[in-house]
Structure formats: structure tokens, C-alpha cells
């Protein structure tokens, strides 16, 4: 590819809409252009890198028995109503009507469509197991798209779906995906860790997320270095301290003026936050098939902890949660800043399991300026549910070995779910077993965000000059630069000849044949980040050949004309070996 013909251009200035490094660099290097919030065009450089990522994903899916299919982006709403997700998913799902007034959906994911195919195609145990996959566009109307490709609304995903006769088969396919996903990310040059995760809107029995650790990530992962426990904060457990046994004292109403926060209350009464009960008021949206209703939720956690809304939503099977307004709180009889469930009725009370074990806490009196001392569950109030609804944090005890947990930030680039029979039962996906009995097909769902993967690679592979692509996913292998001074026809002839030689040797080359200054060409080469740069110039000719430089190294060297192709091929092999060595090192850790 000649740069004089390349569609797109590099940018000198950082676009104002780009906040994170990967977004800035991909825009400046001419890989992507933003059409609207979370919606991007992929220019030729990005498209070439994505094609390589897709090829790696295809190879690994086929290696575990996957067959590629392609499913529509637009779905009839009736499919999503069959599973109930039409009612459970909020505005993130984009709904519309076609010209015949039929309700339709833009694909967020494809479980319903796969299930519809399964009930048409699978009849007998002899047709199982099967694994199908696709590379397809998805749309999720995220209210807060950010970080360029890392959190986009329209994106490309490799999603696969396993079909088995029993749970043992699902376990095998799940493990096969677990290993294949690690290979995909390693081959792309992206370090990841696998963590236990919330099944979320996907449903099912178990899930893992593949995270790349970066400060721009919106996910928090809790990790135990001692035993290897890893989980997304959404579901992370921790070893909760068990309070000492105490005599349960009688309730005492005390004046606590101007103490609407736990901090103020603890300071006023000279007690630790752990000796207080925090009230959190939320409105839950709960779907029951075609009906959606709101439920006022009164959550109680210890004053030194925070409510984990993911755990709470899962515990009460809520579609979504929002903070209650002051008016909604007062309508229950509670007083904001001085609330407790004591004496209230008609509210759904959820108590954290640690509160249930903690004696003689300070809680609100539902009277302005007053609290109650020595409040105990269940003596003084009842709960509709007792569950773990608090968030794990750094230095909490590991649930497996009690060592200290540490919190790190990460971006989810892939996930795997054990769906089980949930979709099969909802949509009638059955097969006849060896005894002629009808059984539900056992399903799994597995996804990798390919555009997000590209964004994460840009987020970790760069320096102060620009991108540094891993050789396996770089848009080109070689960036050929020609510098033609006044009266220097030889350099141009040599560059043209070398470009042809690279093509004949099946070496992918981006040839900067533009009439630009050396500074512009070198800056663009560094910005675009192709692994090898070859420079043809009068200076290099006088030194005896062609200047060679790896993008990830500062050193330059002169290689003779007749040796340069072999030298490039050797370096490419070395770059792949280094990538493989990194894979082996990551696998060991």
C-alpha cells in the first residue's frame, strides 16, 4: 500500500473528544473516525488490524470444533418476549417498528436467534454436541459511551454458542473456550486475566470475564495474590469479620442533631462506623414476564460498608435500580438521614448478612434529629431477605484463604457463560435422547469484543511517539520510508525496487512515497506503529545500504541491499518468537 493512495490521514493535534490514550492515538494515527457518541468508522489501517484479529479468532474457534454462521442484526421482538428479556432489559435495548407495525430489536446479543435455529435444526442426541460462532455487529445503547473503542455503542463481536446433551458436555465446551480465549488474547499480544463474574442479563449458572488490567478500565477486580482468587467487584465475596458476642441491650432513643451522614453520626456519638447501620433507599424495577412494576427497597448495611447494587439486584431479581427520591422515602414513613426499618410497613427490607450478625448497632429513629442505640436484628425489625449485598474492597479478607485482597482496574474484553437450559426451556429447544425422551439442549454463550480488543491493544502498546503494534495484529509488517533530496533519483529507484521485492516476498509493506519532509514521515511512522521501519535515503546509501529500525527499539542499523529481505524475514520470525515467549510467560504466571 502506498501512503499517497491511503484513505485517511494522520492528525497532529489531539482531538478534543478523545480523553484516553488509545482513543487519541487511534484518531491521530488515522485508524478510526467518530461519527457520533460511541459510533465509529474503521479506516483501512484499523480494518487491516481487525481482519487479523478476526482471523486469529476464527482459527481458534475452528480448532475447538466451531462452525461459522451469520445471524441477522435485526430481530423480531417476539423472540425476546419468549425469553422475557424484552421486559427485563431497559433502554440499553433499541426497539423499533417496521413498516408493517411489527416490533423489532437491534441485536445486543444472539442467544434468542440461536435458540430459534436450534429448535428448527436439532432433533436427536445424534446431532449433539455442536458449536457455532459468528463475527457480527452488535448494538447496545449505552448511556455513557466513553474511551473510544473501549466503550462503544456499536461494535463487532465474535460470539459463539455451544449446544450439548448434558451438563458434562457444557463443562467440556466451557473449558475449551476458556483455553481458546487465552490463546486468542495471547496471540494478539494482549495480557488478560480470567475472573469470576456476574451472569447479568445473559442468565445461566456461571460466568467468567477476561480482563486486561489498565487504569482506564471501569471494572474493578479483586485479586488475592496468595491463593489466586479473582472476581469482578460486582460479585466478589470477602471474608466478613464476625463481631464478638454481646448482651443485647435495650433500645435507647438519643438526640443526634445535624447527623444525617454516617460520618457525622459516628463522630457525634464517638463510635466506629462499624457500630452503625446505614440505610440505603432504592427503587427496583422488577419484571414478571410481560409486567414491570416498581418496588421500594430499604437496604441495610453496616456503616463502614457500601451497598453493592449488582449483588442487591441479583438478590431481589431486579431489572434495574435507581435511588429513591426524598418524597418517595418520606411516603414510607422514613426520614432521610434518620431512617431505619423499625416501625415501617409496606417496604421491602433487605439486610446484609453482616448486619444480621452485628449486635447493638446505632440506627435511625425515623424522627428528625434522633437515632436509636442498641438496635438488633431480628429482635427489633424483620427483613424480607438477608443476603450478602456489600462491596468487597482492598484489604478485605480473601473468601478462600483470608489473605488480603487487592483491587485493580480492568477492561472486559471477553466473557463466557454457562447458560444451561434457561433459553432452551423458554423457547422449546428439545432433543430426543437415546431412550426417546425429550430433553432440553444445554447451551453456553461466549463473546469477545473485537473492536474493544483493538482499543485495549492501543491502550497498552504505545510510547510517547505513538502506537507500537504487536506483529500479529499490526496493519502492515514493514513501514518503508523514502527520503528524496534534491537531485537524488537513486533513493527513489532503490525504494521502488525494494517495495516490489517486499511484495514478492509476501511481506506486508506500507510505502511512504509522499512528498513530505523527513520529520513528517518519521513522525507518522512512529505514530502509526508498524513493527519494522526501513528508510531509503542518500545518507543510508552512503553508509552502505538501507536503514533498519524496530519500532519498539531505539537502535538503528544499516543493512546491505541484497540482505535486507532476509533480514526483515528473520526479524519478523524473531518478533513472533518474542510474542510466543510472552504467551508462555503469561501462561506460567
- For 317-349, the pLDDT digits (tens) are 887 899 999 999 999 999 999 999 998 888 899
Domain boundaries, the chain: 21-236+407-459, 252-387, 476-588
- What is the DSSP annotation of 364-385? EEEETTEEEEEE-TTTS---SE
Question: What's the rounded Cα separation, in Å, for the pair 29 and 8?
Answer: 9
Three-state SS annotation for 487-498: CCHHHHHHHHHH
Question: Over 90: is that where the pLDDT of 161 sits?
Answer: yes
Q: Are 460 and 157 in contact (CB under 8 A)?
A: no
The whole-number pLDDT of residue 586 equals 57
Q: What is the DSSP letter of 351?
A: E
Question: Over 70: is that where the pLDDT of 39 sits?
Answer: yes
Does domain 252-387 bear CATH number 3.90.960.10?
yes
Question: Taking the domain 476-588, which CATH number applies?
Answer: 3.40.50.800
More confident residue, 319 or 512: 512
- What is the DSSP annotation of 204-272? SSEEEEEEEE-TT-SEEEEE-TTT--EEETTT---B---PPP---PPPEEEE-TT--SHHHHHHHHT--
Question: Over 70: is that where the pLDDT of 587 sits?
Answer: no
Equal CATH topology for 252-387 and 476-588: no
Confidence of residue 584 (pLDDT cuts 50, 70, 90): low
Q: Which helix (H) or strand (E) holds 499?
A: helix 489-504
Across 431-445, average pLDDT: 96
Question: Over 70: is that where the pLDDT of 200 sits?
Answer: no
CA distances to 152, 475, 538, 553, 562 from 550, in Å? 32, 15, 20, 5, 19
Across 348-356, average pLDDT: 95
Domain 21-236+407-459: CATH class, spelled out? alpha beta
Residue 335 cell numbers, joined = 426520614
Three-state SS annotation for 457-480: HHHHCEECCEECCCCCCCCCCEEE
Residue pLDDT, tens place only, 259-304: 999 999 999 999 999 999 999 999 998 877 667 788 999 999 999 9
- Identify the CA nearest to 14 among candidates 3, 27, 2, 5: 27
Spatial CB neighbours of 464, under 8 Å, sequence gap ≥ 6? none
Q: What is the DSSP letter of 390?
A: B
Residue pLDDT, tens place only, 49-61: 999 999 999 999 9
Q: Give percent above pLDDT 70 in the chain.
A: 97
Please state whether the peptide bond connecting residue 129 to the residue before it is cis, i.e. omega within 30 degrees of 0. Answer: yes
Amino acid at each position: 500500500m502506498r501512503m499517497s493512495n491511503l484513505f485517511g490521514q494522520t492528525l497532529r493535534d489531539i482531538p478534543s473528544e478523545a480523553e484516553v490514550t488509545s482513543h487519541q492515538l487511534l484518531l491521530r494515527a488515522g485508524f478510526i473516525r467518530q461519527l457520533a457518541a460511541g459510533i465509529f468508522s474503521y479506516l483501512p489501517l484499523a480494518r487491516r488490524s481487525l481482519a487479523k484479529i478476526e482471523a486469529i479468532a476464527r482459527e481458534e474457534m475452528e480448532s475447538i470444533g466451531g462452525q461459522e454462521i451469520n445471524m441477522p442484526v435485526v430481530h423480531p421482538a417476539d423472540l425476546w418476549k419468549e425469553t422475557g428479556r424484552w421486559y427485563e432489559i431497559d433502554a440499553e435495548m433499541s426497539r423499533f417498528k417496521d413498516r408493517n407495525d411489527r416490533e423489532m430489536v437491534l441485536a445486543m446479543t444472539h442467544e434468542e436467534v440461536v435458540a430459534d435455529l436450534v429448535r428448527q435444526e436439532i432433533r436427536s442426541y445424534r446431532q449433539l454436541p455442536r458449536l457455532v460462532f459468528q463475527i457480527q455487529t452488535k448494538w447496545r445503547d449505552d448511556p455513557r459511551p466513553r474511551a473510544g473503542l473501549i466503550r462503544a455503542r456499536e461494535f463487532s463481536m465474535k460470539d459463539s454458542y455451544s449446544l450439548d446433551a448434558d451438563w458434562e458436555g457444557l463443562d467440556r465446551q466451557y473449558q475449551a473456550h476458556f483455553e481458546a480465549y487465552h490463546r486468542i488474547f495471547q496471540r494478539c499480544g494482549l495480557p488478560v486475566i480470567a475472573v469470576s463474574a456476574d451472569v447479568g442479563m445473559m442468565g445461566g449458572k456461571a460466568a467468567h470475564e477476561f480482563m486486561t488490567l489498565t487504569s482506564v478500565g471501569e471494572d474493578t477486580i479483586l485479586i488475592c495474590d496468595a491463593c489466586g482468587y479473582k472476581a469482578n467487584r460486582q460479585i466478589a465475596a470477602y471474608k466478613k469479620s464476625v463481631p464478638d458476642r454481646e448482651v443485647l441491650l435495650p433500645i435507647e432513643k438519643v438526640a443526634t442533631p445535624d447527623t444525617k451522614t454516617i460520618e457525622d453520626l459516628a463522630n457525634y456519638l464517638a463510635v466506629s462506623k462499624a457500630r452503625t447501620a446505614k440505610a440505603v433507599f432504592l427503587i427496583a424495577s422488577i419484571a414478571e414476564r410481560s409486567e414491570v412494576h416498581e418496588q421500594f427497597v430499604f437496604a441495610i448495611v453496616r456503616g463502614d460498608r457500601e451497598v453493592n447494587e449488582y449483588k442487591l439486584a441479583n438478590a431481589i431479581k431486579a431489572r434495574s435500580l435507581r435511588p429513591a427520591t426524598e418524597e418517595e422515602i418520606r411516603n414510607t414513613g422514613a426520614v432521610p438521614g434518620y431512617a431505619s426499618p423499625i416501625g415501617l410497613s409496606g417496604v421491602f427490607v433487605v439486610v446484609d448478612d453482616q448486619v444480621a450478625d452485628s449486635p447493638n448497632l446505632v440506627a435511625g429513629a425515623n424522627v428528625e434529629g434522633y437515632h436509636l442505640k442498641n438496635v438488633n436484628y431480628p429482635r427489633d425489625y424483620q427483613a424480607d431477605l438477608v443476603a450478602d449485598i456489600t462491596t468487597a474492597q482492598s484489604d478485605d479478607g480473601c473468601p478462600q484463604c483470608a489473605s488480603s485482597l487487592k483491587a485493580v482496574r480492568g477492561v472486559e474484553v471477553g466473557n463466557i457463560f454457562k447458560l444451561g437450559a434457561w433459553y432452551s426451556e423458554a423457547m422449546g429447544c428439545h432433543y430426543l435422547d437415546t431412550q426417546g425422551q425429550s430433553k432440553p439442549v444445554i447451551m453456553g454463550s461466549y463473546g469477545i469484543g473485537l473492536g474493544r480488543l483493538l482499543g485495549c491493544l492501543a491502550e497498552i502498546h504505545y510510547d510517547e511517539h505513538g502506537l507500537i503494534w504487536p506483529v500479529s495484529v499490526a496493519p502492515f509488517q514493514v513501514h518503508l520510508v523514502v527520503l528524496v533530496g534534491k537531485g537524488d533519483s537513486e533513493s527513489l529507484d532503490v525504494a521502488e525496487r525494494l517495495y516490489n521485492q517486499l511484495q514478492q516476498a509476501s511481506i506486508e509493506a506500507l510505502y511512504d512515497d509522499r512528498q513530505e519532509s523527513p520529520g513528517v514521515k518519521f513522525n507518522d511512522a512512529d505514530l502509526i506503529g508498524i513493527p519494522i521501519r526501513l528508510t531509503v535515503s542518500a545518507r543510508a546509501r552512503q553508509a552502505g545500504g538501507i536503514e533498519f529500525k524496530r519500532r519498539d527499539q531505539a537502535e538503528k542499523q544499516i543493512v546491505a541491499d541484497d540482505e535486507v529481505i532476509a533480514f526483515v524475514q528473520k526479524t519478523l520470525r524473531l518478533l513472533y518468537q518474542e510474542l510466543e515467549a510472552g504467551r508462555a510467560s503469561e501462561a506460567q504466571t
